[in-house]
Amino acid sequence: MVLLLFVDLDPDLAALRPLAGFFVLRTERAPAGSLPTLAQAYAATSPDVSVNPLIFRVRKVATALRAPELRVAASVAHQGLAARLWSIALGCAALYGRVPDLDARLLHWDADGSAPDDLWLREVTPLSGDAPSLADVVLHGHLVPLAAALRAHHGLAPGLLRGNAASALAGAARELDRWAGRHGRRDVAARARSLAAELLAHPVLAGAGTLTGTAFRRRSCCLYYRVPGGGVCGDCCFPRPPRSSPRAPSG
């Protein structure tokens, strides 16, 4: 039996700080300069890079990685943002037993920031930390509209996007499990694994891959192997980078 040791959801989300990296969320006032919200980024339809933060981000990633085509950069950008959102939500659910309302209208995003994506939450409002709440907050609140925007702008396959979202979730759970193991928090590890397994069975993610313990094997490829010097990821469907048909199998 694992005893769950929860603390109250505090306005600074201080319990996330020891996890660092993708898990930490800024809750202070966003910098001056009217950073867009993620809702604005998902809804932007203009192809103009100067007014569309999502397209701007993809171009920035493409330049940094020397990506051979924008859809490769779009996939990497998608997985990076998905990893941020899952890490924050799953980290809060595992440590607090609650999750902050991550409504896309409350999250400001610096599309020109470095990785991990820089996010600011305007206010911290506690929600339930169960799997259905996480699905509402992250899947329906962010990853569904984000995927729709990337399909419209860059033609990414639904299977690739579903695989990215599932991979990002499994990766967040795996990092929580490792942190919990180092700090003797069996409760955090058990909670993260249980939530990840339940979320990976959600209709939006079902069929994206196979979870065995904390190891995940996806059924699609994120295309990172096409980045110069890149290779296959640890959970890729390919054992080694494909040599033929650069467009397959991403979906």
- What pLDDT, on the 0 to 100 scale, is given for residue 121? 95
Residue 247 belongs to some domain of the structure: no
pLDDT score, position 30? 74
**Residue 118 dihedral angles phi and psi, to the nearest 5°:** -85, 120
pLDDT at 246: 46
Instruction: Determine phi and psi for 107, rounding to 5 degrees.
Output: -100, 115
Torsion on CA atoms 205, 210, 214, 220, rounded to nearest 10: -70
Question: Do 129 and 98 contact (CB within 8 A), yes or no?
Answer: yes
Rg (CA), the chain: 17
Let me know if residue 237 belongs to a domain. Answer: no
6 is a domain residue: no
Report the C-alpha gap between 171 and 182 in whole angstroms: 17
Residue 5 is predicted with a pLDDT of: 57
95 and 187 in contact (C-beta within 8 Å)?
Answer: no
Total tally of structural domains belonging to the chain: 1
Residue with tokens 């930490």: 24
* Long-range contacts of residues 112-117, Cβ cutoff 8 Å, at least 24 apart: 112/56, 112/57, 112/60, 115/80, 116/21, 116/22, 116/80, 116/83, 116/84, 117/80, 117/81, 117/84
Give me the tens of pLDDT residue by residue for the chain, a chain 251 residues long: 454 556 689 999 999 999 999 999 999 877 766 799 999 999 999 999 999 999 999 999 999 999 999 999 999 999 999 999 999 999 999 999 999 999 999 999 999 998 899 999 999 999 999 999 999 999 999 999 999 999 999 999 999 999 999 999 999 999 999 999 999 999 999 999 999 999 999 999 999 999 999 999 999 999 999 999 989 999 999 988 887 444 544 55
Does any domain span residue 169?
Answer: yes
Task: Kindly state whether residue 201 falls inside one of the protein's structural domains.
Answer: yes
User: Residue 70: inside a domain, yes or no?
Assistant: yes
Give the separation between CA 105 and CA 121, rounded to whole angstroms: 9
Contact 157, 208 (CB under 8 A): no
Residue-range definition of the domain harbouring residue 72: 14-226
Q: Is residue 5 part of a domain?
A: no
Nearest to 19 by CA among 73, 75, 88, 81: 88
In a domain, 8, yes or no: no
Q: What is the pTM of this model?
A: 0.93
For residue 28, the model assigns a pLDDT of 82
What pLDDT was estimated at residue 250? 53
